[in-house]
Amino acid sequence: MSSHVPNNKLENKGMYKDTINIALAGNPNVGKSVIFNQLTGLSQTIGNWPGKTVERMEGHLDFLGYRFNIVDLPGIYSLSTYSLEEIVSREYIVSDDVDVIINVVDATNLERNLFFTFQLLELKVPLIIAINQMDILRRRNMEIDFKALE
């Protein structure tokens, strides 16, 4: 996992409060719901078909005196989109409600996923990039140059 969170953005977005709102965003079928379930302890249904998550799901994690409200968003390829699922995601991502975005990307299809990542970076919201499905990448004897991504 790599992150891009400028210190001044943390202060500007009010990160030092008791509740932090986190959006789990990324292309369809990259593992957002799996991460959501791990963080919240909930049992969001996981499926490997387009449009599986069609509305946002919310849960929370309490840790070190902070409440992290975590929102699992439908898969989205671009901020300039018109499908119902992607509109739900876009509207939440660009709202003032989001303190941090965790952009879940598929290690096996990095180029396609990073198109959306670059759009998220332009929003100037603190962003954490979670590279998922590394086990599949390794089985294919492939690697990611993490230094190049920084």
pTM: 0.80
Hey, which bits of 39-140 come out as E strands?
57-63, 66-72, 100-106, 127-132
Position 30 scores a pLDDT of: 93
- pLDDT string in tens for the chain (150-residue length): 444 444 444 444 444 458 999 999 999 999 999 999 999 988 766 555 454 556 889 999 988 888 999 999 999 999 998 888 889 999 999 998 999 999 999 999 999 999 999 999 999 999 999 999 999 989 999 888 888 887
Contact between 100 and 92 under an 8 Å Cβ cutoff? The reply is: no
| Whole-number pLDDT of residue 65 | 82
Q: What is the pLDDT of residue 63?
A: 86
| pLDDT at 46 (0 to 100) | 56
**pLDDT on residue 150:** 78
Q: By the 8 A CB rule, do 93 and 23 touch?
A: yes
Structure tokens at 19: 């509740």
Half-sphere exposure of 145 (CA within 13 A, CB side): 4
Q: Which domains does the chain have, with CATH numbers?
A: 2-149 (3.40.50.300)
Q: Count the neighbouring beta carbons within 10 Å of the beta carbon of residue 4.
A: 15
User: Do you know the residue count of the chain?
Assistant: 150
